[in-house]
Amino acid sequence: MSRLDVPEGLRIVLASASPRRRELLSELLTPGSFAISPVDLDERAFETFDPVESALSIARAKAELAGESAAPEGSCAAPPGPGSGIGSSQGCTLGFVARPLQGQGREDKASALPLVITADTIVFRGGRQFGKPANPLEAVQMLGELSGRTHRVVTAYSVRFGDFMADRAVITKVRFRRLSRAEIEEYVATGESLDKAGGYAIQGGAAGFVLRVEGSLSNVIGLPLDELRADLEQIFALIGSGSPEPGCHSQQ
């Protein structure tokens, strides 16, 4: 996969502490072209009964916090807005909200404002959502519930640049083989479970648990690369051409 050309002078911030997301983003962008700046957010305040809406709300809130902290003094920070897109790996929608950037000239827009990328991943099955386990016992319980069954993984991401906003949620289906209690406990003892949604790393020691993946594998790891690439290409084009007319544009 070829990397994208970043507009000259554009500052990009990945507001995530996840090393997996950093590695994934490095497949789209040259590693030195973006900075890492995690935000401190109480995600529980944004959780709802709908895992897709929960992930989107958390990603948007992270983006707003990161945009406020990264924007230079006197620049226009992106206010909370309705621009959003929700979709699955079979057919996603993308939402843009574009407004004129106050107090910014086209020539210095890219150098003054950061482009912020945030994301959140939730594993869910039926009516239950599986975040990061609080302790090894909870990780064992989570994996026991996923054993021999199909679950879904949603990763929502938000991209902010001034008043440009692009949000998307992508869903992937994952089927586990039946796991014994002993192999679950052996896996949890490695410590890999504790900072992963659902208590497992599909790219790590849990790879052998998986019978089938339907949709984006990178989405399960932490970022849907094909969808994020398409959105960044459009945003980079908008930055290069100047502010578009205000309005909301979506695509399937």
Residue 103, phi then psi, degrees to nearest 5:
75, 10
**Is 167 part of a structural domain of the chain?**
yes
**Is 218 part of a structural domain of the chain?**
yes
Evaluate whether 58 touches 217 at the Cβ level (below 8 Å). Answer: no
Which pLDDT belongs to residue 78? 38
Using left for φ > 0, alpha for ψ between -120 and 50, and beta otherwise, residue 199 falls in left
Residue by residue, DSSP assigns 29-45 as S-GGGEEE------GGG
Number of separate domains in the chain? 1
Which pLDDT belongs to residue 107? 44
**Is 249 part of a structural domain of the chain?**
no
**Is 251 part of a structural domain of the chain?**
no
Which pLDDT belongs to residue 138? 97
- Spatial distance between the Cα atoms of 195 and 93, rounded to a whole number of angstroms: 29
Provide the 10 A C-beta neighbour count for residue 82. 9
**Is 5 part of a structural domain of the chain?**
no
- Spatial distance between the Cα atoms of 40 and 219, rounded to a whole number of angstroms: 23
Coil, strand or helix: which one is 2? coil
- Spatial distance between the Cα atoms of 146 and 49, rounded to a whole number of angstroms: 19
Question: Catalytic residues, which ones?
Answer: 120
Which pLDDT belongs to residue 93? 34
> Mean pLDDT for each 10-residue chunk of the chain (252 residues)?
89 93 96 88 76 94 80 43 37 36 44 86 93 95 98 96 88 98 98 94 97 97 96 88 45 34
Which pLDDT belongs to residue 99? 35
Q: What is the CATH number of the domain that holds 107?
A: 3.90.950.10
Evaluate whether 15 touches 63 at the Cβ level (below 8 Å). Answer: yes
Longest dimension (CA), the chain: 62
Which pLDDT belongs to residue 69? 67
Residues spanned by the domain of 58: 11-242
Nearest to 114 by CA among 129, 124, 104, 128: 104
Which pLDDT belongs to residue 75? 41
Which pLDDT belongs to residue 226? 96
**Is 250 part of a structural domain of the chain?**
no
- Spatial distance between the Cα atoms of 63 and 162, rounded to a whole number of angstroms: 11
Read off the tokens for 91.
């057919």
Cα torsion at 160, 161, 166, 169 (round to 10°)?
-30
Coil, strand or helix: which one is 159? strand
Which pLDDT belongs to residue 85? 41
Which pLDDT belongs to residue 70? 60
**Is 1 part of a structural domain of the chain?**
no
- Spatial distance between the Cα atoms of 151 and 135, rounded to a whole number of angstroms: 21
**Is 140 part of a structural domain of the chain?**
yes
